[in-house]
Chain A
Amino acid sequence: MTPLLEVTDLRKHFPLHGGVLGRVTGQVHAVDGVSFAIARGETLSLVGESGCGKSTVGRAILRLTKPTAGEVRLDGERLDTLPDAQLRRLRRRMQVVFQDPFSSLSPRMKVREILAEPIRNFGLARGAALEARLAALLDQVRLPRDALDRFPHEFSGGQRQRIGIARALAPEPDLIVCDEAVSALDVSVKAQIVNLLAELQDALGLALLFISHDLAIVEHLTHRVAVMYLGKLVEVADRRSLFAAPFHPYTRALLSAVPVPDPTAKRERIILSGDVPSPIHPPPGCRFHTRCPFVFDRCRTEEPAMRQVAPGHQAACHLPMGM
């Protein structure tokens, strides 16, 4: 069976302009060859530190930015080369929830207009059917129905994020890209929104691409995890496998940085030294070799390929198994 979303060797390079004539003087390798697939009804979490390109992956899939190279397929149909007019038809099937609940809702539109817009755009309902659909959407995200005639600024951050989720649900998509969708919220509200997303996914059979840097939330919500470092995936695995037995040194360092709510718990912390290298001049070989505690000669020259390290568990690292 074809996966719902299939991303193959996706690349996005941003040209750097410099000099008097604004010539291209370099490329920011924001995303540099990322491949993964998401099945129907599955949650894939894309994690990594800020600036590693994870948001750019989401935006490239949604064609909010045009990929430099690579393929994006939705149900086997290529999106990245479609002309805009034909892409619009497929946009119904993939929606987005952004991080900032304040700037992601148009300040001068009422909730009714915000939610009705995608439905009208795709000609899905009108008149009484539209009203019924709007009421159902509010019920789904647990907002009172009188919210329809209010403006976004009358709501709290968590409520706005519910509106954002309702807008994403409005055209009945198959896939929702959640770009740091809960990162800007308070802890208690965060939990509510994460539970809401999980519940909606169960009820509607949605696939989620959950872009986040918060591993605690990811562990709670996801089926599979993809770890990204400097524009490349370093590890893709089932949730259980990844959190129980991370293979890649970077993933291990990330996991060791997750706070544990037990002050007496003793565990090994892996502290990475140095900074993330510049994505303008990514290091040769393995991109992580400049900070890897287990680095050896091969890492500096040869780029590791993704390989199976356990069932449903892939990593891009030269380290032998069992390390």
Chain B
Amino acid sequence: MSATIAPAPLAEILPPVIRRGRVRTFLRRHPTAALGGALIAAMVCIAVFAPWLGTVDPTAIDPIHRLADPSTRHWFGSDMLGRDIYSRTLYGARISLLVGFSVAFFASAAGTLVGVTAGFVRLADSILMRIMDGLMSIPPILLAIALMALTRASVQNVIFAISVAQFPAISRLVRGIVLSLREQPFVEAAIASGTRLPRLIWRHILPNTMAALLVQATFTCASAMITEAILSFIGAGTPPIIPSWGNIMAEGRALWEIKPYIVFFPAAFLSVTVLAVNLLGDGLRDALDPRLAKRL
């Protein structure tokens, strides 16, 4: 019954692992993701280095030069109080990015927690998912407005409100992935070889949800930035004293027909940033798709 088997000639089959040039390959294969990433990096630089980019105090009032058209003195013009739109727009990037990234992080964390719990505890599943259904039945912006109405306007509360509005969708996604992973033979093999539940989740489940979660987080980030701008625009978000893109647009709204640049510049920045995040998300989805993974 027993026969001698030659060792499998592994080295002949496998080329040496290539690590160098992986970044370059990624950029070539996914130019949109690269473009999105570059734009986001630029926006982060703008936010971080705003004080050094030729700006003045974004809240400084200069009534003599109010409603100035774009010029060398006010690159993007000035608003009805004479505040410099260029400086305000650059500082506004801080709020948008802070809210976008924070919401993406907190919504992912909360969504993962709820999703994994629902995926593993049957009783919790039906209860948690009905609550998530309830939250998802309210349009996210309405839910965020309602939550903001309960609290004081502040950036933290905006982040909290938008996170609450966004995380049910992530929890659904994670729950679905967890349920399908639980049926995978490698997870069953891990259970059969005595892996305890915490380690099973940490080593076998979570790493395999990361790809989808990362993609979902980028879209959540983009939609959080838009929601933040909407909340600010209608006066239910970031306090008006803080220059956020939504606030600047809200202030420019009344003058929109005679001084369109007050609305135009923050709107253009918001559009470009959201587009960049979405491009990155699309690129990541393609890059992390297991069906396309072999090409990478």
Check if A50 is an interface residue, CB within 8 A of chain B: no
Contact B8 A159 (CB under 8 A): yes
CB neighbours of B17 from chain A (8 A): 150, 154
Number of interface residues, chain B, beta carbon within 8 A: 30
A199 to B2, Cβ gap below 8 A?
Answer: yes
What distance in Å separates the Cβ of A79 from its nearest Cβ neighbour in chain B? 12
For B204, the chain A residues whose CB sits under 8 A away are: 106, 109
Q: Which residue of B lies closest to A64 (CB)?
A: B188
Cα A170 to Cα B195 with chains together (Å) = 13
Given contacts A154-B14, A195-B2, A121 and B196 within 8 Å (CB-CB): yes
Closest Cβ–Cβ distance, residue A100 to chain B (whole Å): 6
Residue pair A117, B195 in contact (C-beta under 8 Å) = yes
A87 to chain B, nearest CB (A): 9
Nearest Cβ in chain B — how far from A277, in angstroms?
27
Residues of A within 8 A of B3 (CB): 195, 199
Q: Please, which residues of chain A bring their CB within 8 A of the CB of B185?
A: 98-100, 103-104
Which of B5, B8, B184, B193 is A91 in contact with, Cβ under 8 Å? B193
- A interface residues, tally (CB under 8 Å): 49
- Is B150 among interface residues, defined by CB-CB distance under 8 A? no
Task: Mark out the residues of chain B between 1 and 15 whose CB falls within 8 Å of any chain A CB in the assembled complex.
Answer: 1-3, 5-8, 10-11, 13-14
Q: Would A143 and B10 be within 8 Å (CB), given that A88-B194, A91-B192 are in contact?
A: yes
Report yes or no: B189 in contact with A171, Cβ–Cβ below 8 A. no
Docked-complex contact B8 and A121, CB < 8 angstroms: no
CB nearest to B191 among chain A residues: A64
Among B2, B8, B203, point to the contact of A198 (Cβ < 8 A). Answer: B2
A98:B189 contact, CB within 8 angstroms: yes
B188, A143: Cβ atoms closer than 8 Å: no
- What is the CA–CA distance of A196 and B2 in the complex, to the nearest angstrom? 8
Contact of B194 among A91, A107, A143, A192 (CB under 8 A): A91
| Assembled-state Cα–Cα distance A154/B203 (Å) | 20
Q: Is the CB of A106 within 8 A of B190?
A: yes
Q: From A154, A156, A192, give the contact of B5 (CB < 8 A).
A: A192
Q: Which residue of B lies closest to A196 (CB)?
A: B5
**B192 x A64 contact (CB < 8 A):** yes
Q: Which residues of B contact A196 (CB under 8 A)?
A: 5
Q: Say yes or no: is B151 at the interface (Cβ < 8 Å to chain A).
A: no
**Closest Cβ–Cβ distance, residue A301 to chain B (whole Å):** 39
Question: A residues 65-95 with Cβ under 8 Å of B?
Answer: 88, 91-92, 94-95
User: Which residues from B are CB-within-8-Å of A162?
Assistant: 8
Smallest distance from the beta carbon of B21 to chain A beta carbons, Å?
A: 18
- Out of B1, B5, B187, B193, name the residue touching A142 (CB < 8 Å): B5
Q: In the bound complex, do residue A103 and residue B184 qualify as a contact, i.e. CB atoms below 8 Å apart?
A: yes
Among A106, A109, A158, A196, find the residue whose CB has the most chain B CB atoms closer than 10 A: A106
Q: How far is the CA of A167 from the CA of B191 in the complex (A)?
A: 12
Tell me whether B186 is interfacial, beta carbon within 8 Å: yes
What sequence of 0s and 1s flags, for each residue 171-210 of chain B, a beta carbon within 8 Å of any chain A beta carbon?
Answer: 0000000000000111111111111100100011001100
Contact flag A98-B196 (CB < 8 Å), given A109-B203, A143-B8, A198-B2: no
On whether the beta carbons of A103 and B194 are closer than 8 Å, the reply is no
Cβ B194 vs Cβ A146 within 8 A: no
- Say whether A296 faces chain B, with CB atoms less than 8 Å apart: no
Distance of A107 Cα from B191 Cα, bound (Å): 16
* Minimal beta-carbon separation of A124 from chain B (angstroms): 10
Select one of B7, B191, B194 contacting A144, CB under 8 A: B7
Residue of B185, B188, B199, B203 with highest tally of chain A CB at under 10 A: B185
From residue A200, how far is it (CB to closest CB) to chain B in Å?
Answer: 9
Inter-subunit contact A159/B189 (CB<8 Å)? no
Question: In the complex, what residue of chain A is closest to B1 when comparing beta carbons?
Answer: A198
22 contacts between A and B (CB under 8 A): A64-B188, A88-B194, A95-B192, A96-B189, A96-B192, A98-B185, A98-B188, A100-B185, A103-B185, A103-B186, A104-B189, A117-B190, A118-B194, A121-B193, A121-B194, A142-B5, A143-B8, A144-B7, A150-B14, A159-B10, A167-B189, A195-B5
- Using CB atoms and an 8 Å cutoff, list the residues of chain B in contact with chain A: 1-3, 5-8, 10-11, 13-14, 17, 184-196, 199, 203-204, 207-208
Interface residues of A (CB under 8 A from B): 59, 62, 64, 88, 91-92, 94-96, 98-100, 103-109, 113, 117-118, 121-122, 142-144, 146-147, 150, 154-156, 158-159, 162, 164, 167-168, 170-171, 192, 195-196, 198-199, 202, 220-221
Which 4 pairs, one residue from A and one from B, show the smallest C-beta to C-beta distance?
A: A118-B193, A104-B185, A121-B194, A98-B185
Q: A104-B189, A167-B189 are in contact. List 11 more A-B contacts (CB 8 A).
A: A62-B192, A96-B188, A106-B190, A108-B208, A118-B194, A121-B199, A143-B10, A144-B7, A144-B11, A162-B8, A220-B1
